[in-house]
Structure 1
């Protein structure tokens, strides 16, 4: 049974260096996480923190994927402007932002 078009932990090589997809995703997730760590102190740990995390995750990584990464890989901008792809990118990356903010808050020693 194929529930999704791609395997969740793909080891397929990425372009241009042939690094397995899972390692590439982990690396870039870490880079975006460091960016979030740098800007998170600007938000109080209330609703604005969580909203900022959601918007950061939904917007910035998604725009970079659509307008920087896709052209480098020879793919259409914004997934060809298909609504399903646009919504999926925003939701998945927004969930990543909230999850990353939650982990930062959980493991942060600063109150």
Structure 2
């Protein structure tokens, strides 16, 4: 059951924390695209934000596997650190090239920093939601 909750935490954290921060940064002029992208994506034609949230759910399981034995402040710290690093590295160095985009977005510091920030907040959201679900 805890792994299902970790998936749900990752899914919800993507929709609330990751996308919430993205929207705030967009409104502040820091990012060109708004959050909660409803454009259909292949192969199933689901909205992009739901596809992202699904992957966020899978990453939630990975993150929880890494930090579940940490307690207190260490869990929050490692949730932010691993949350920032792991999905960002995979997105920038694996997913981008698979989609025909430059590796790490051409090493654009703004893009890399944005990925780390958004995913770090996502990781904190996962920790908070798991605590709310009484798993942490």
Report the TM range for the smaller structure's normalisation: 0.7 to 0.9
1:38-85 CA distances to partner (integer Å, 9 max, x unpaired)? 2222212x2211110011111000000011110110001111101111
Q: 1:11 to 1:52 in 2, by over 3 A?
A: same
What SS does the corresponding residue of 2:46 show, helix, strand or coil?
A: coil
Matched, 1:67 2:113: no
Q: Residue in 2 aligned with 1:97?
A: 123
Unaligned runs of 5+ in 2: 1-25
2:68 aligns to what SS in structure 1?
Answer: helix
Which residue number corresponds to residue 21 of structure 1?
48
Distance across 1 between alignment mates of 2:68 and 2:36: 32
RMSD: 1.8
TM-score, normalising length: structure 1 = 0.86
Higher RCO (C-alpha under 8 Å, 6+ residues apart): 2
1:55 maps to which residue?
81
Structure having the larger proportion of residues in helix? 2
Number of equivalent positions = 107
TM-score (norm 2): 0.71
Runs of 4 or more above 3 Å deviation: none
Flag the structure with larger Rg: 1
Counterpart in the other structure of 1:37: 64
